[in-house]
Structures are given as C-alpha cells and as structure tokens.
C-alpha cells in the first residue's frame, strides 16, 4: 500500500491517502479543513479515491468529509455510532476494499464513542485515539478513560510491533513511528495496568 501523509488546517491535523499500488484505488482518511490539498495529492499520484473515512466525529476531522467525497466521486464512511452525515456506516471488523487490498475497521472508543482505527496489515491510522507520545483526550463528551485503556492495551497493542502508527495530529517528536517503539516510548502504552495509565499526565 502507498501512504501519503498531509498536514492541513490550523490544529496540526494529519489527513491521509492510502492506496493500493497496482490499481491506484484509494481511501482518504479524515477531512476537516481545506479539501484542495487532498484532492490535488490524489490527482498527482493518479489515485482514484473510493472512500473518504472519518476516524471520529470531531469537526477538525469531518467538517469537509462529504464535500471531499462529492469532489472525488467517493463515498463518505463513518462508524455506526457517529452523528455525522454519511453514505456508509461501518462497524468493528468491517473491511473496505481498494484494488486487491483490504483495510480493516477497528472500533477504538475512548476519545469518542465512534472512534475507529484503520488497519491494512502494515499501517494503522489512529485518528485521535493514539498520538505519537500520548493518547487523545477523554474529557470531552463521549470520552472514557476506561474505554481508552481497553482500546490501547486490549486492541492496538495486540497488533504486530512493526505496524506503523499514523496519528490524526502532528503532536509528537516524529510524524509516525513503529508501534513496537511507540509502546516503549509513549507513557500511555508503556503503563503497566490501568492504575499506572491513570497517573500518566
């Protein structure tokens, strides 16, 4: 798969294009700011975007989701718990197919009830569930520390250590990192148990 990471807007948001190399079919991940850089990048790489997927409902990830889908002739996709207008609702374990590749939807509540990660077997797009060096906030409506802990430790940390983590914001010292390394360096992942997780600043 081809991954293109783009930084957009005023809140250090990362959006992504994930494409099957042979067919050039692609998924755009998140769209909350200007659509032009994403559309331009897709065109420049000769990608045909089939789906525009929201990692969760917050405006900086979704406010131009449907506009981008319309512009690209794609379908907008959200988790079934999302209040955001959409063409397709997905749930945990569903797959989105691009060319010969398939991308798994992993439900990871904690930041919001509709938070999902997308996993193609090598790359993990974590939205605001997991950042480089921290995790997303749990004190906004729909947030839960307990669910965040379960999503991080019971779901994400079970993926192979060579998985590359691509977060929804550029908050870290690097823009992406391998999960195995992140598990050592990121205190929310390195915490041994829920009590220690709660003490991470």
Asked if residue 58 binds Fe ion (CB under 5 A), the reply is yes
Query: What are the beta bridge partners of residue 124?
Result: 119, 165
What is the spatial distance between Cα 65 and Cα 28, in angstroms, rounded to a whole number? 9
**CB 58 to Fe ion: min, Å:** 4
Torsion over CA of 122, 127, 130 and 135, rounded to 10 degrees? 180
Smaller CB distance to Fe ion: residue 62 or 163?
62
Burial class from Cβ neighbours inside 10 Å (0-12, 13-18, 19+) for residue 160 reads exposed
CA 5/CA 33 separation, integer angstroms = 15
Q: How far is the CB of 108 from Fe ion (least distance, A)?
A: 12
Q: Coil, strand, or helix at residue 55?
A: coil
Which range, of 41-49, 56-64, 146-154, 171-179, touches Fe ion by CB under 5 A? 56-64
User: Maximum Cα–Cα distance for the chain, whole Å?
Assistant: 48
* Binding characters for Fe ion, 108-137, by CB under 5 A (x = yes): --------------------x---------
As measured in angstroms, the least distance from the Cβ of 50 to Fe ion is 24
Give the shortest CB-111-to-Fe ion separation in angstroms: 6
- Candidates 31-39, 50-58, 70-78, 150-158 — which segment interacts with Fe ion by CB under 5 A? 50-58
- Rounded distance, CA 23 to CA 1, Å? 10
Question: Which CB, 23 or 138, lies closer to Fe ion?
Answer: 138
Q: Which of 121, 61, 109, 118 is nearest to 86 (CA)?
A: 61
To the nearest whole angstrom, how small is the minimum distance from the Cβ of residue 73 to Fe ion? 27
**Positive or negative, the Cα torsion across 66, 69, 75, 78?**
negative
**Residues in a beta bridge with 90:** 79
Least distance in angstroms from the C-beta of 63 to Fe ion: 12
Which residue stretch of 51-59, 83-91, 94-102, 171-179 sits at the interface with Fe ion (rule: CB under 5 A)? Answer: 51-59
153 binds Fe ion (CB under 5 A): no
- Residue 30 is a binding residue for Fe ion (CB under 5 A): no
How many chain residues are in contact with Fe ion, going by CB under 5 A?
A: 2
Residues making contact with Fe ion (CB under 5 A) = 58, 128
């Amino acid at each position: 798969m081809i991954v293109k990471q783009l930084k957009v807007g005023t809140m250090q948001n990362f959006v992504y294009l994930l494409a099957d190399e042979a067919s050039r079919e692609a998924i755009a991940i998140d769209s909350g700011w200007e659509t032009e850089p994403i559309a331009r990048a897709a065109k420049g790489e000769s990608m045909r975007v089939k789906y525009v997927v929201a990692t969760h409902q917050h405006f900086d990830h979704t406010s131009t989701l449907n506009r981008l889908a319309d512009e690209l002739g794609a379908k907008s996709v959200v988790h079934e718990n999302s209040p955001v207008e959409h063409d397709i609702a997905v749930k945990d374990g569903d797959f989105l197919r691009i060319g010969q590749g398939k991308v798994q939807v992993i439900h990871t509540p904690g930041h919001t009830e509709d938070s999902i990660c997308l996993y193609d077997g090598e790359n993990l797009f974590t939205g605001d569930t997991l950042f480089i060096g921290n995790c997303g906030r749990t004190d906004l409506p729909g947030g839960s520390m307990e669910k965040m802990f379960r999503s991080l430790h019971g779901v994400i940390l079970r993926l192979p250590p060579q998985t590359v983590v691509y977060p929804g914001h550029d908050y870290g010292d690097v823009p992406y990192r391998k999960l195995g390394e992140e598990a050592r360096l990121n205190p929310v992942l390195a915490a041994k148990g829920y009590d220690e997780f709660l003490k991470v600043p």
